[in-house]
Amino acid sequence: MLVDWDELQHTVEFVSMGNEAVLCRKTGKIFWHTDLDEDIEAWPDDADDEEKYLVIPDKKELDLGKALVLEFARECLPGEFDEIRRIFSKRGAYARFRSLLLRRNALDRWYDFENRATERALREWCKANGLTTREGDPPAPEAK
């Protein structure tokens, strides 16, 4: 099954915000569902049929949650590891983690680390589910 890589990446972000999405195994079409607004397209009545649809995972299901943060801390901010581990032992961890990253001028490094890990995990998920990806158009050159 061929799927659009950019659309799949955006869909994982969408699902990671508490929404749902499925991929039709026959057509490769992705259906999005949210309780916050009307669905962009009609949600299939049989979306729970695993033979017809593949549920798009969120970042947590791709193991991109707390474990990834701790891996980043070990590799990139070893002196902050204990503090970051303590931050993630309580609610509201990501806001406090972001504040720490801002204080340490490490926010861009975190985003790069997270993006690389997300891409690896999503490509592995595609492979495990027999999906091949079609890359989107390259970004337009920046205006000078």
Cα–Cα distance measured from residue 41 to residue 124, given in angstroms and rounded to the nearest whole number: 28
pLDDT tens per residue across span 61-116: 999 989 999 999 999 999 999 999 999 999 999 999 999 999 999 999 999 999 99
Q: Is the pLDDT of residue 138 over 50?
A: no
For residue 22, what is the enclosing H or E element? strand 20-24
What are the sequence ranges of the domains in the chain?
A: 2-57, 66-116
List of E strands, the chain: 2-4, 20-24, 30-33, 53-55, 132-134
Cα–Cα distance measured from residue 52 to residue 71, given in angstroms and rounded to the nearest whole number: 36
pTM of the predicted model, to two decimals? 0.80
- What is residue 35's predicted lDDT score, i.e. its pLDDT? 81
Higher pLDDT, 137 or 56: 56
pLDDT band at 143 (very low <50, low <70, confident <90, very high): very low
- What is residue 1's predicted lDDT score, i.e. its pLDDT? 84
